[in-house]
Amino acid sequence: MIGKAAMNKIAQRLLAAAKDGQTEVVVYCVEERLTRYANNVIHQNVAEANTAIAVRTALGKRVGVATTNDVSDGGLARAVEAARGSARLQPEDPDFPGFPEPAAVEAVDAFDEATAAYSPTDRAHDVGVVCRRAEEASCIASGAFCTGVQEIAVANSHGVFAYHPSTIADLTTVVMTGDSAGYSAGAHWQVAQVDVPALGQEAIERALRGRNPQSIAPGVYPVVLEAHAVIDIVAFISQMAGALAVAEGRSWMAGRQGEQLMSPLVSIRDDGRDPAGLPFPFDFEGTPRQAVDIVRDGVVGDAVYDRRWAIKEGKQNTGHALPAAHPASPWISGTTLGPIPMHPAMETGAQTVQEMIAATERGLYVTRFHYTRVVHPREAVITGMTRDGLFLIENGEITTPVKNLRFTQSYVEALRNVEMVGREACRERPFFSIVRAPALKLSAFQFTGATTF
């Protein structure tokens, strides 16, 4: 961790090197440590420490971007010149809104000293419990447990400077027998909130229960979706809730805002200040984040906006800009993706998973979805597979493990079929932030193919 003062110094050195035009700097520092395990044995401990920088320069309406992790004077100067050189070669961007003026950003706590100090020995102790229990149960455990520290600073030539430190603890585990598998995962900015032994035990029990799976015909079934599966739904739904996708008509929201598209039991909110997620109080332009109701009581709500799309559409900037080029993840680009929600969460309900199962006469219990891909973005049609625990429900009880099924299903239509919502939420980090969701009971979900495992 290098701290606010050091990051500000780097940013100001970059801004000073830019002689004219407008300049924006994103400084991203990460210290991340990862323990991997397979076959009930820890086989790798790795650690990464990096300071990465993205520079965006505007010469009039021509905008160029460069990235570097060389923080020497020469390295910073070369990054600025590369961004300026790129800008000179670009066509004018008539919609470029300029960089924002300073705005007050209220700090939010997302830094945990215990998580920052979590050592390889600490992680090995937690993972060792999972591996020993799996071996005792004649199962094979694999997975990864990551802890780390992130710092982000945004500055520009208009005087913006925003800084935010955070920590992260992230576990994913899969436990296998000869013919079954169980899955569990959890993430939080406080490592104490990620109970590794308990999550591992959950995966072990699921794998044991899933042995000797039977074939079942594809078709439309009532389902109880574990929170791990619902997280996939929330992630896809929210990714399509950005202003660019809505404006281009690619989003399920386009032309439908204010309509009752989903069950009244469904509410999805994006709030970058929510301490139950992974708080990040400003966007990559330094604008304070606003909470946005993507869905409220089943009614289609608002898209999220950055500065460009707020001005273009005459809307409020909700503080959802992605970086023009993410210094650590080049595929995360506001230029191509536009603004998107980074902290989506589905509100919890009143039922337990056991109550959902008890209320199902015949249906399927789904642990999670795997290899999901968009088929039709406008209707939010997704294809994918079940994985790591699929079971038949009969007369209100889980009776038989079944082989995995492929599905092709509109996630919007699936959320229209919600009958019950779980009272507890699961947290996972499927992308670059934490997504939260409870379990759901749906009256219908379409499975289109069977597998041999």
Q: What is the pLDDT of residues 244-300, one digit of tens each?
A: 999 999 999 999 999 999 999 999 999 999 999 999 999 999 999 999 999 999 999
Question: What mean pLDDT comes out for the span 218-225?
Answer: 98
Angle CA(158)–CA(162)–CA(164) in degrees, nearest 5? 165
Instruction: Give yes or no for residue 352 having a pLDDT over 90.
Output: yes
Phi and psi torsions of 390, nearest 5°: -125, 130
Q: CB count, 10 Å around CB of 308?
A: 22
In angstroms, rounded to a whole number, what is the distance separating the alpha carbons of residues 305 and 290?
A: 10
Across the chain, what does the average pLDDT equal? 95
Q: In Å, how far are 164, 193, 302, 380 from 341, measured between CA atoms?
A: 18, 23, 11, 16
Q: In Å, how far are 111, 147, 166, 351 from 119, measured between CA atoms?
A: 16, 9, 17, 38
Task: Give me the pLDDT at residue 334, please.
Answer: 58
Instruction: Give yes or no for residue 328 having a pLDDT over 70.
Output: no
Encode pLDDT of 3-39 as tens digits: 999 999 999 999 999 988 899 999 999 999 999 999 9
| 4-17 vs 73-89: helix crossing angle, rounded to 10 | 50
Encode pLDDT of 369-426 as tens digits: 999 999 999 999 999 999 999 999 999 999 999 999 999 999 999 999 999 999 999 9
Phi and psi torsions of 178, nearest 5°: -65, -30
Beta pairing class for 344-346 and 268-270: antiparallel
Task: Give me the pLDDT at residue 96, please.
Answer: 95
* CA 99 to chain CA mean position, Å: 26
The DSSP H or E segment spanning 278 is: none
Domains within the chain, CATH numbers bracketed: 4-196 (3.30.2290.10), 213-453 (no CATH)
Task: Name the DSSP class of 447.
Answer: E
Encode pLDDT of 183-216 as tens digits: 999 999 999 999 999 999 999 999 999 999 999 9
Q: Within 13 Å of residue 403, how many CA atoms lie on the same side as its CB?
A: 11
Assign 308 to helix, strand or coil.
helix
Task: Give me the pLDDT at residue 168, please.
Answer: 96
Assign 200 to helix, strand or coil.
helix
